[in-house]
Each structure stands twice: as structure tokens, then as C-alpha cells.
Amino acid sequence: MSRPEEISPPEIFYGDVEATKYTANTRVKSIQAQMTRRALELLALPEDETAFVLDIGCGSGLSGELLDEEGHVWVGVDIAPSMLEVALEREVEGDLFLHDIGQGFGFRPGTFDGAISVSVIQWLLNADSSSHSPPQRLNRFFTTLHSSLKNPSRAIFQFYPSSDDQVSMIVNAAQKAGFGGGLVVDYPNSKKARKMYLCLMVGQQEIPKAIDGNDIQVDESHSLQMEKRREEIRNERRRRKDTSASSSGKKKKGNKDIDPKEWIMKKKELYRTRGKEGVPRDSKYTARKRKVYF
């Protein structure tokens, strides 16, 4: 099965169609809720107090809803505009920022009481453009996050690494940024229920214990759901290839045809907003068709 981060960058993979489908999927919402509750348990915020929490890769606000239920105030950041649009449509309570976390954060030091993230940081390991360097992006991310958190506090990341090398790269980058803590692996002996959490700490604290799960009961329908998801991804990749092969100068976003120049102008504006260097200037030649000489 191809992992989502291996198919396309998150802001493209989670387009209008995928963002809506992801948020409406009851299975996805159930899994997200379970992982968010576990992340909050590991975060160990003071009881009966309102905390200010950063939700990294907040998506459409599924985790934010649980933060609301716990009585916390939260800020969410995400790189996918379509996900944030769904969050706005759902009228979530948190403040939302369109932001590439690989560029680091600009919050004031000691702003947050804690941070959570569900299924996000593995995306930082991809070089989606020639200017992306995973080690540098991880360094900026963890260094600025460490500064943004109070002392003491925690940041909890649930993530899906594809190899031990990825785990080592992430953990080493966090340690170099000044974090303490380590990995918490729940249900390590179960292929279906195994979950990995990176529990990072500002200040001296003990690493919480994992759930060994010797008596865990796993929903057997999960494998069927995963197989269905694999098939959906394969079909989507085939559709994109067919569309690309038969395209006659039209760029597609979701199911809508977009004028090539309009599409290019929007992408260039997005890159400028993110502070990317070397974006070509706009001119009358933008998106012109090149003549083919034989």
C-alpha cells in the first residue's frame, strides 16, 4: 500500500474531495478520537484548569473538538487549505492558521501549555520540492516548537514511521532542539492496534508508561477498511494518470476544470505567501503555450 505522504504533498493530497471524504468517514473519526484522547492522556494537563494547546496539523478540527470537550482553548495549524475550509464550515472553536510547519513557528516564547499532533510529523521527512531538506525542516520545527512551549510542558506526537531510520531522525532532531522524553509504543505486540507516540518534554519529567495491551480486543473489520482504503488510493492514482495523459491544456482540481493561467497564478501566490524564494514574476507570458518544432 502506498502511504499518503508518498503520493503527493499534503496540501495537494488533501484537496477538496479528500478533505470532505476524510472528515465524513465515521471510521476515520473514531480512530482520530481514540488517538487524540490517548495524546491528551499523555499530555497530562492539570485537571480543572483551562490550558492553551497547539494542535499541529489540525486538519478539519476533529482533534480540536475533543480539546473543546475537555475545556481547553486551542490554536490549529495546517498546510492544506481544503482541510481548513472544512474546519471553518464545521465552525470549530479554535483559531486556525494556514502554515507549513517545516518552516518553524513564530509564536512568542512560552505561549502554549502543551501541543498535540496526530498523524502529521512523518510528512516532514519528505522532500516535496528541491528546496526541502528533511533534517533542516525537522530542526526548524522542533527548535521553534520548544521555544513556544512553557516550562514545564509536553508535546505529544502520534505518527506512522515507515522505518527505524525515520524514527531515529525524528527523535534525534527533537533532542538536539532541547526536548527530553522519548517514545511510547502502545500495544507493541499487535499489528493492528500498535500506536507510536513521541512524548517530548520541556523541563525534567518522567516518561509515561505505554499500554502493553495483552488483553486487547481488536476490531477485525479494520483490515477490511484498510484494504478498501488501499483500493481507493490505487484508483485515485490511476485516475490522475489517465487525466494527465488525456489533458489538453487544462489543470484539474477536484472535479472542476481550471484555466491554466489561473491555476499557475494561484500556486505562485501560495508560494509567495509561504515565503518561498525564487517565485517567477507575473507577466503576459505566464502560462503561454509553447510552439512545437519538428
Q: Residue 98's pLDDT is what? A: 97
Every domain of the chain with CATH number 3.40.50.150 lies at 4-202
CATH 1.10.10.10 for domain 4-202, yes or no, is: no
Say which DSSP state 132 is in: -
Q: Sign of the C-alpha dihedral, residues 110, 131, 116, 18?
A: positive
Digit-by-digit pLDDT tens for the chain (294 residues) are: 578 888 889 999 999 999 999 999 999 999 999 999 999 999 999 888 999 999 999 999 999 999 999 999 999 999 999 999 999 999 999 999 999 999 999 999 999 999 999 999 999 998 777 778 999 999 999 999 999 999 999 999 999 998 999 999 999 999 999 999 999 999 999 988 999 999 999 998 888 889 876 543 434 344 445 455 556 666 776 676 676 666 555 444 444 456 788 888 888 887 777 677 778 888 877 877 765 544
pLDDT at 229: 56
Short-list 170, 166, 179, 96, CA closest to 138:
170
d(CA 157, CA 233) in angstroms, rounded, equals 25
DSSP 102: G
pLDDT value for 278: 77
Question: For residues 182 and 171, what is the distance between their CA atoms, to the nearest angstrom?
Answer: 7
pLDDT at residue 251, as a whole number: 47
Enter the pTM of the model. Answer: 0.72
